[in-house]
Structure 1
Amino acid sequence: MTDWTELLRPETRIQLLKNHKEQEPRKGRDEIDFNPVAKLFVPWGAATFLISECDGDGLAFGLSDLGFGSPELGYISLDELAEITGPGGLRVEEDIHFRADKPLSKYAEDARAHGRIRA
């Protein structure tokens, strides 16, 4: 069993957990629209995920695009993503070159307009 923490660099995990801790007491009122911290992708397919926060158990919030033309905001199990194995043993990867330049909601608006995440 692969642990979700293996998907992300240490500095990425720290920021995701920090964002979650900051957001948690605000649930339901004036939630923070964080910039995505991580971009995860499936090297053998079209799936892409922009993650803005994560609790200590691997439950993340972000924008998911499975490649079917309908990206959506919601909760993502990083444990489940860590378990995915593709051809030749490929795994879900973090895009180490990704740098967000706008809040998650703006990426979601753009993705809905174009049918895919463009980041």
Structure 2
Amino acid sequence: MIPQNLRETMIHNAQEVQNDLAKDHAPVVKLHSKYGKAIWLLSELDAANNIAFGLCDLAQGKPELSYVSITDLESIKHARLKVPMVEIDPAFDGKYPMSVYLEAAKVNKRVTEDEAMLREASLRLAL
């Protein structure tokens, strides 16, 4: 589901956090459900367990930073069509640190890529 080059970036990010070299990476990938509204913006990956960290939004109005199993997401299939339910957004480009996406999501009650909302969130965090 996640291309190798992006997996490598996420693994590197996780190693930086484990070594106290960085804590607020920009999201590397955006995953979303094809037939629903769930969104995952992910920045780090524990390759040994295939567990990612990022902003998880299950479309219940409460996006949060959490861990998610990539293996579990890959296993979710449409009940009748048997096609994968979760896919990567190849056009996604994480331009802000995860804290900015979280701040904007708290205000919006949904993950957003709206540039104006992200800029406002960035300014709020700078205060």
Fold match by TM threshold 0.5: yes
State the 1:89 CA deviation: 2.5
TM-score, length-scaled by structure 2: 0.81
Give the partner amino acid of 1:118: T
| Residue among 3, 6, 10 paired with 1:12 | 6
State the 1:31 CA deviation: 4.6
Name which structure has the greater RCO, CA cutoff 8 Å, separation 6+: 1
Query: Taking every aligned residue pair, what percent have the same amino acid on both sides?
Result: 35
Write the distance in 1 (CA, Å) between the matches of 2:100 and 2:53.
15
The structure with more radius of gyration: 2
TM-score, length-scaled by structure 1: 0.86
Q: In the alignment, which residue of structure 2 is the partner of 1:54? A: 45
Q: In the alignment, which residue of structure 1 is the partner of 2:25? A: 34
Q: How many residues align?
A: 110
State the 1:90 CA deviation: 3.0
Provide the aligned C-alpha RMSD in A: 1.3
Q: In the alignment, which residue of structure 2 is the partner of 1:24? A: 18
Which secondary structure state, in structure 2, belongs to the residue aligned with residue 89 of structure 1? coil
2:83 counterpart of 1:90: yes
- Structure 2 gaps of 5+ residues are 114-127
Write the distance in 2 (CA, Å) between the matches of 1:55 and 1:71.
21
Which secondary structure state, in structure 2, belongs to the residue aligned with residue 51 of structure 1? strand
Instruction: Provide Cα deviations, 1:90-114, integer angstroms capped at 9, x if missing partner.
Output: 3211101000110001101101101
State the 1:9 CA deviation: 1.0
